[in-house]
Amino acid sequence: MSRGARYAARRLGFAIPTAAAVVALSFALIHLAPGDPVVALAGDGGDAAYYAETRARFGLDQPILAQFFSYVGRLIRGDLGTSYLQGRDVRSLIAERIPATLLLTGSALALSTLVGVATAAYAASRRNRVGDVIVNVLCMLVIATPTFWVGQMAIIWLALRLGWFPVQGMTDARVVNTGFAAFADVAHHLVLPVTILAAQEIGSVARLLRSGLIDELESAHIVMARSKGLSNRSILIRHALKRPLLPVLAVIGGRLGQLLSGTVIVEIMFGWPGVGRLLLSAMQNRDIPVVLGVFLMTSLTVVVANLVIDLISLRVDPRIGQTRFSR
C-alpha cells in the first residue's frame, strides 16, 4: 500500500471511532441527566402508560451496555427518537428544516471562501501599504466581533433605518411568488443573514491566506515568474495562490463547525426557518430527543466534512501522509 493510501485508510479509520465517541457522548448525556432518563426522553408531562411504553421502546429496563448497543443500532437505522413536544419523528422534524439551513450555511461557506481569498490576494499584493493595513485592521475587527452584534447593528441600520433588507423570514409572507420572482424574493431575504454569517470567516480566511501568500510571493519560483516579465495579476492568480490555498482547504472542516454554530444565532435573529430555530425551541422546552438529534447531526456532519477534506487534500497535495506527523 502506498503511503498516500495508508494515510487515507488511517483518516477513515479515525473518523469511525470519532463518530462513535460522539454517539457515546450523547448516550452518556441522556443517562447523566438529572432524574430518570425516561423523563429526559419522554418529557415530564407524560402519564405512567406513556413512560412505560417509552421505557420499553428505548430498552431502559435493560442493562446499560445492552441499552447502549440498542441505542447505536437505532441510530444506524436513522431512528433519532420522538419529539415529545410535537409527537413526531425527530428525523423528519430535522430533515424538513435542512434545506433552509443548507442554503444559509452553504452560501456563507462559499461567500466567505471567495471574498476571503480575494481580500487576501488584494492585501498581499500591496503588502504594508494603506490598503493592506486597512484590510488587516478590518479582519482583526470582524474576527473579534460576535456574530449577533454584527447582526444587531445590520438590522438596526440596514434593515430598520434604511429599509434595504427584510428583517425577518426567508420569503415575503404577503405575496405568493412563482418562478424568478420567488427566487429573487428568497435571494433578497438571504443577503443580510449570509453576509453576517460569513463576516467572521471572511476575516479568518483572509488572514490565514494573506500570511501564506506573503511568504509565497518571496519564493524562488515567483521571482522566476517575475523575471520572465509576467504581469503581477497572472503571477498572483496562476502561480502564487496555489500553494497557500492548501491550508485554506484544510481548515474548511473546522470552519463548517464554526459556521453551523453561527447559523443557529443568525437563524434565530432573522426568523430563518432552519434547524437552528428548531433547536432553540426544543431547548426552551427541554425537548431532549430533538436537541440531541441536532447535536448528533451537526457533529457527524463535521466529522464527515473533515474526512472528505482530508481525502481531497491528499489528492491535491500528495506530500500529505508522507511523514508520520503530517497533521
Partner 1 sequence: MNRETSALHGTADIVPALARRNVLTRIVASPTGAFGMAGCLLVLGIGLAAPILAPNKPFSIVAPPLEAPSAKFRMGSDALGRDVLSQVVHGTRSSLFVLSTVAVLVLLIGTTVGLLAGSSRRWLDDVLMRLTEVVQIVPRFFLALVVSSIFGAGLRQLALLLGLTSWPTLARIVRAETQSLVERDFVLAARVAGATRLRVLWREVFPNVLPTTFAYLGLVVAQALLIEAGIGFLGLGDPNTVSWGQLAGDAQRYLRVAWWLPVFPGACIAFTVLSLNLLGDRVADVVVRRA
> Contact positions toward partner 1, by CB under 8 A?
14, 17-18, 21-22, 25-26, 29-30, 32-34, 40, 140-141, 143-149, 152-153, 155-156, 160, 253-254, 257, 260-261, 264-265, 268-269, 279-280, 282-284, 286, 288, 291-292, 294-295, 298-299, 302-303, 306
**Toward partner 1, which CB reaches closer, 70 or 285?**
285
**Toward partner 1, which CB reaches closer, 219 or 231?**
219
What does the radius of gyration of the chain's CA atoms come to, in whole angstroms? 24
Q: Which residue has the cell 506530500?
A: 319
Q: How far is the CB of 275 from partner 1 (least distance, A)?
A: 11
Q: How far is the CB of 29 from partner 1 (least distance, A)?
A: 6
CA–CA–CA angle 220, 226, 229 (5° rounding):
150
**Toward partner 1, which CB reaches closer, 171 or 301?**
301
Q: How far is the CB of 136 from partner 1 (least distance, A)?
A: 9
**Toward partner 1, which CB reaches closer, 230 or 311?**
311
**Toward partner 1, which CB reaches closer, 143 or 230?**
143
Check: CB of residue 275 under 8 Å from CB of residue 94: yes
Q: Which residue has the cell 506527523?
A: 325
Q: How far is the CB of 214 from partner 1 (least distance, A)?
A: 13
Q: In whole angstroms, what is the distance from residue 100 CA to residue 214 CA?
A: 38
Q: In whole angstroms, what is the distance from residue 62 CA to residue 58 CA?
A: 9
Q: In whole angstroms, what is the distance from residue 55 CA to residue 57 CA?
A: 6
Q: How far is the CB of 238 from partner 1 (least distance, A)?
A: 27
Distance of CA 53 to CAs 35, 36, 198, 248, 303, Å? 18, 14, 45, 50, 34
